[in-house]
Chains A and B, each alone.
Chain A
């Protein structure tokens, strides 16, 4: 049974939990409806129609998702691997430095990384993906390291005491225990990358940001509100989805 089904089966208390799960999608659904009505009431001129039609919007959404998902997959793989390496004893000296770097790294503007890559390499979707990876790497790395460190040392000690090799401890104890952290990292990376990917339009990567940008330059409020609203709804929806997945996929007992 999924967590949702279990929650529903639990009766009144479960109903409250179920309600909490559904609060966000209901809110998003209402927001989407509001946008739809807004567009319907306002009516669209020819310029606006070019942006606000199903085909364009769906295409842009798909692009955005593609950029975000690919870069998330890459960055999670990279940062988990690096995180594991940096939490090994031989890297003990380096890790505080890395964490400090990650803290400052949060201040680097996403648009700056995108711009750098566009100028140094080229414009388009691949530079955008690389920029997304570069931008979110340090945050996810830090979260992974903190999470791995939190694995109770006494658990590791008793495992070594039973004769497990270091590799075995890593794969059979630390990683399984770190799954919640990794899941949280995936969720965070996804959100960061969706956010940054909307700026991808500035380096020719397409995506919903393009409609927003067009609306700003052409001064079309309807398109602006709708495109921005849709982007926000999309991001919140993905976050909600990732949250549910996190709850379902979390190993029992943790």
Chain B
């Protein structure tokens, strides 16, 4: 325990640097996922067959072992940021897509009908009624993706990607040496702390952007 604290006080800047890299790569992937996931969800939620295909494909991504996927990407994207981001985008897509579709479909048909009856066209209905009502569910999907990506991003180290995975792999490579455990624990704790921070952030954003009328 004491050696870990010592380690942290000595190397906190290094851990912080890795943590920032970790956070950035996850954040980039999340932003792309939200854009693709929500747009795709909006496009397919009314068409059951297309939606099912989209959901099946994105869930296939999650089934592929991350190590294998990162490996496959090396010949295509090389090493570094790019393969990491592409792989993370693929992994984080399903929860957001699935929740967008579920959220939009869960809007009470009576509400949608009264909006239509008042003369709202499809675009206005989507933007002013359906998306705001589906929003809490979509935010939950974003949070799930965030947790997922935090853990998977650690594997990015095998493609020389950024993030705290680097420390974990370093620690593994030095089995037996005193610093090994500290490196690994530092990496894991760093990821957990980042995960908590991101989750709290999205939780807050969710609460702030959700109308009081549907918060419960």
How many chain-B residues does the 8 Å CB contact rule pick out? 44
Known: A216-B158, A224-B74. A108 touches B191 (CB 8 A): yes
Provide the bound-state CA to CA distance between A119 and B179, in Å. Answer: 11
Chain A neighbourhood of B68, CB < 8 A: 198, 208, 212, 227-229, 231-232, 235
In the complex, chain B residues 170-187 whose Cβ is within 8 Å of any chain A Cβ: 171-172, 175, 180-181, 184-185, 187
- A215 / chain B contacts, CB cutoff of 8 Å: 71
Query: Which residues of the partner chain B approach A108 to less than 8 Å between Cβ atoms?
Result: 151, 188, 191-192
In the complex, chain B residues whose CB is within 8 Å of the CB of A104: 147, 192, 195-196, 199
Question: Which A residue's beta carbon lies closest to that of B66?
Answer: A195
The answer to whether residues A123 and B175 also contact, given A108-B188, A109-B188, A212-B67 and a CB cut-off of 8 A, is: yes
Interface pair B175/A119, CB less than 8 Å apart: yes
B168 contacts the other chain (CB 8 A): yes
Q: Which residue of B lies closest to A106 (CB)?
A: B147
Cα distance A34–B59 when bound, in Å? 22
Neighbour of A225 across the interface among B66, B75, B184, CB < 8 A? B75
For window 98-120 of A, CB contacts with B under 8 Å fall at 103-104, 106-116, 118-120
Of all chain A residues, the one with the shortest Cβ separation from B151 is A109
Q: How far, in angstroms, from A178 to B185 measured CA to CA in the complex?
A: 37
CB-based contact B171/A224 at 8 Å: no
- Chain A residue total in the interface (Cβ 8 A): 42
- Which residues of B are found within 8 Å of A203, using beta-carbon distances? 172
Given A107-B151, A111-B154, A202-B169, residue A116 in contact with residue B188 (CB < 8 A): yes
Interface pair A109/B191, CB less than 8 Å apart: yes
Residues in B with CB closer than 8 Å to A194 are: 65
Which residue of chain B is the closest to A24 with respect to CB atoms? B60
A52 contacts B by Cβ under 8 Å: no
Which residues on A sit within 8 Å (CB–CB) of B143?
A: 103
Q: Mark A80-106, 1 if CB is under 8 A from B, else 0.
A: 000000000000000000000001101
Looking at the assembled complex, report how far the CB atom of A232 sits from the nearest CB atom of chain B, in whole angstroms.
4
Judge if A4 is at the interface, Cβ distance under 8 Å: no
B101 close to A (CB within 8 Å): no
Given the complex, which residues of A lie within 8 Å of B171, measured CB to CB? 115, 119
CB distance from A177 to the nearest CB of B (A): 23
The answer to whether the Cβ of B165 comes within 8 Å of any Cβ in the partner chain is yes
- Interface bits B145-176 vs A (CB < 8 Å: 1, else 0): 01110111111001000001100110110010
- Say yes or no for A169: interface residue by CB 8 A criterion: no
Closest to B64 in A: A232
With a cutoff of 8 Å between Cβ atoms, the chain A residues found around residue B65 in the complex are 194-196, 198, 231-232, 235
Q: Is A199 on the interface with B (CB-CB < 8 A)?
A: yes
Interface residue? B204 (CB, 8 A): no
- Residue of B63, B66, B185, B195 touching A107 (CB-CB under 8 A): B195
Interchain CA distance A113-B165 in the complex, whole Å? 12
Q: Is the CB of A112 within 8 A of B72?
A: no
Contacts of B199 on A, CB cut-off 8 Å? 103-104
In the complex, residue of chain B having the shortest beta-carbon distance to the beta carbon of A222: B75
Does A239 sit at the interface, judged by CB under 8 A?
yes
Which residues 192-209 of A have a CB within 8 angstroms of B?
Answer: 194-196, 198-199, 202-203, 208-209
Knowing A109-B191, A112-B168, the reply to whether A221 touches B75 (Cβ < 8 A) is yes
B69 contacts chain A at the CB level, 8 A cutoff: yes
Residue pair A109, B154 in contact (C-beta under 8 Å): yes
Instruction: List residues of A whose CB falls within 8 A of some B CB.
Output: 103-104, 106-116, 118-120, 123, 191, 194-196, 198-199, 202-203, 208-209, 212-213, 215-216, 221, 224-225, 227-229, 231-232, 235-236, 239
The 6 closest A-B pairs by CB, nearest first: A107-B195, A109-B154, A228-B71, A231-B68, A195-B65, A106-B147
- 6 more A-B contacts (CB under 8 A) besides A111-B154, A119-B181? A107-B146, A109-B154, A110-B151, A112-B191, A209-B67, A224-B71
B residues adjacent to A (C-beta < 8 A): 60, 62-69, 71-72, 74-75, 143-144, 146-148, 150-155, 158, 164-165, 168-169, 171-172, 175, 180-181, 184-185, 187-188, 191-192, 194-196, 199
Provide a sorted-by-A list of 12 A–B residue pairs whose CB atoms are within 8 angstroms: A103-B143, A109-B151, A109-B154, A109-B164, A110-B151, A112-B188, A113-B188, A119-B175, A195-B65, A228-B68, A231-B71, A232-B72
